[in-house]
Structure 1
Amino acid sequence: MNAIDRTPADLLSSALAADPARPLVTFYDDATGERVELSVATFANWVAKTANYLQGDLAAEPGDRLALLLPAHWQTAVWLLACSSVGVVADLDGDPAAADLVVAGPDRLDAARGCSGERVALALRPLGGRFPQPPEGFADYAVEVPSQGDRFAPYAPVNPDAVALVVGGEELTGTGIGARALADAAAAGMPKAPRVLSGLPYDTWEGLSYGLYAPLATGGSVVLCRHPDRLDAPAAAAREASEKITFRAPPVS
């Protein structure tokens, strides 16, 4: 983390400048067998496209609140960094009725209809696939985002000391996210530039820190696993070896 890095979006920009080709997020879904690996450059491109969509088509502004009804997933990580880029507050499992807009996975669409603003649905299918039939009342992320621009510039400066994230009812600023993630990494004894394995959900700060922010802040990467309970012990050990894991997140308590 450089001295000039203040927000998660700053951290991503620094990672892109330092080594765009290195892996940043590797995602497994052990219910479907999916594996996706995103380099810093590929991940940043998804973030830029999503931020352009958020700021342009969805007309989101700094300070707007986005209810994020998604599991631990590589596309959720993209949305978190896109929100940081625009200055939108990402409210994990937030109340859609109290949000300016909502982004939801296929199993959270009914709850998401409580939002009176823009609604975006993600199919969470392998390779970022679209819904076979777009859900009524929602824009399909996989349809809308690929055509967006590959570079992003905010219309208004993002205040790093403004609230950027709400998780478990706790509010964190953009500056606070990076600082707390670094503190977590130090307290946990993460090695330099760690390769972190996490099967934690994204509904707590711990899950977000181990599963995204701490690896990003320390120049590392994350192997993010959804439905890790579907994997038996030998397969889990083989994954850990093949992915060259140097740090494991603690199990869900």
Structure 2
Amino acid sequence: MTSGANFLQATLSSMLQDPGHPRLTWYGGDFERIELSGAVLGNWVNKTTNLLCEEFDCEPGRTLLVDLPPHWRLLTWSLAVLRAGGRLTLEPTREPDVIITDTPDTFSDARELIVVTLAALARRYPGELPPGAVDAAGAVMTYGDSLGFVPPTDVSQCAVTTTDGHITYAQLPDWVRSATEDTGDRTLLRVASDSVESRVSVLQHAVGVWSHGGSVVLFGPEMTGEIADDSARLQRIIESEKITTVIDIP
């Protein structure tokens, strides 16, 4: 089994063995669909990791809050924090060093704030940013597709803070794989609500699927609600996406 020190690196690198294969397919409301191949997902994570390391000193022991709903951007930002060896929390009540959010008004007094726009093609945040905040839509794209300097991972440090405690980097491989031991090649994560627990579960299941060499289809809560009473549409998606496993996340 891959050790905690290089678990994320090995998982992301494995996606490049078949770089054109879809690894993350997102379904939002109003028929929004976005597909990221292994190469594209890897580029997003590398760019974001470079930003976090160079501009926000992401390193072991430094806490970063990713305050984003169940969404493909939740996964790319969470992966970047973990790839940089930081302490990831999805719980807004914690006191982080850096806040990554799509609702900047909630954290207008934060000293280090990154504002994420969920819209797929956004080139800038559409509203007014708090003083000193970084607009992720433009900032991430200025960084290279190749990973720059990343501090060595300290396996004794916390990787993910959950409502039940924390998972160290040494525990990370077992934590993610325990949720997805029986997943297939193409796994649908159907998310019913936006809660801290659902965000953590999305991350745990998605990384677990990827560590097994699989691919993720993610339904956000809006899509899950839209399709709840439309079994024919759901079946069409399952067939067209070649989904082999369905996991419901409350």
For the aligned pair, the TM-score class normalised by the smaller chain equals 0.7 to 0.9
Once the two structures are TM-superposed, the CA of residue 5 in structure 1 deviates from its matched residue by 7.4
| 1:1-253 aligned within 5 A | 6-16=6-16, 18-30=17-29, 32-95=30-93, 98-105=95-102, 108-115=103-110, 117-137=111-131, 138-186=133-181, 189-191=182-184, 194-200=185-191, 201=194, 203-204=196-197, 205-210=200-205, 212-226=206-220, 227=222, 228-231=224-227, 232-252=230-250
Instruction: Give 5+ residue unaligned stretches, structure 2.
Output: none
Equivalent residues of 1:52, 1:148 under 8 A apart: yes
Q: Give 3-state SS (helix, strand or coil) of 1:87's partner.
A: coil
How far apart are the structure 2 equivalents of 1:5 and 1:25? 24
Q: Give 3-state SS (helix, strand or coil) of 1:152's partner.
A: coil
Q: Aligned letter for 2:212?
A: T
Residues 172-225 of structure 1: per-residue CA shift (max 9 Å, x gap)? 122322222222222xx323xx21111225732433222x11211110011011
How far apart are the structure 2 equivalents of 1:29 and 1:63? 34
Residues 118-151 of structure 1: per-residue CA shift (max 9 Å, x gap)? 1011120133543223422321110111011111
Question: If the length of structure 1 is used for normalisation, what is the TM-score?
Answer: 0.86
Work out the percentage of aligned pairs sharing the same amino acid: 27
Q: Give 3-state SS (helix, strand or coil) of 1:127's partner.
A: coil
Equivalent residues of 1:9, 1:81 under 8 A apart: no
Q: Aligned letter for 1:87?
A: G
User: Do the aligned partners of residues 185 and 5 (structure 1) sit closer, same or farther apart at CA in structure 2, a change above 3 Å counting?
Assistant: farther
Equivalent residues of 2:90, 2:162 under 8 A apart: yes
Equivalent residues of 2:58, 2:81 under 8 A apart: no
Instruction: Give 5+ residue unaligned stretches, structure 1.
Output: none
How far apart are the structure 2 equivalents of 1:119 and 1:245? 37
Equivalent residues of 1:53, 1:148 under 8 A apart: yes
Once the two structures are TM-superposed, the CA of residue 109 in structure 1 deviates from its matched residue by 2.3
User: Do the aligned partners of residues 251 and 180 (structure 1) sit closer, same or farther apart at CA in structure 2, a change above 3 Å counting?
Assistant: closer
* 220-229 vs 232-241, greater mean Cα deviation: 232-241
User: Do the aligned partners of residues 80 and 202 (structure 1) sit closer, same or farther apart at CA in structure 2, a change above 3 Å counting?
Assistant: farther
Question: If the length of structure 2 is used for normalisation, what is the TM-score?
Answer: 0.87
Q: Give 3-state SS (helix, strand or coil) of 1:68's partner.
A: strand
User: Do the aligned partners of residues 229 and 129 (structure 1) sit closer, same or farther apart at CA in structure 2, a change above 3 Å counting?
Assistant: farther
Q: Give 3-state SS (helix, strand or coil) of 1:198's partner.
A: strand
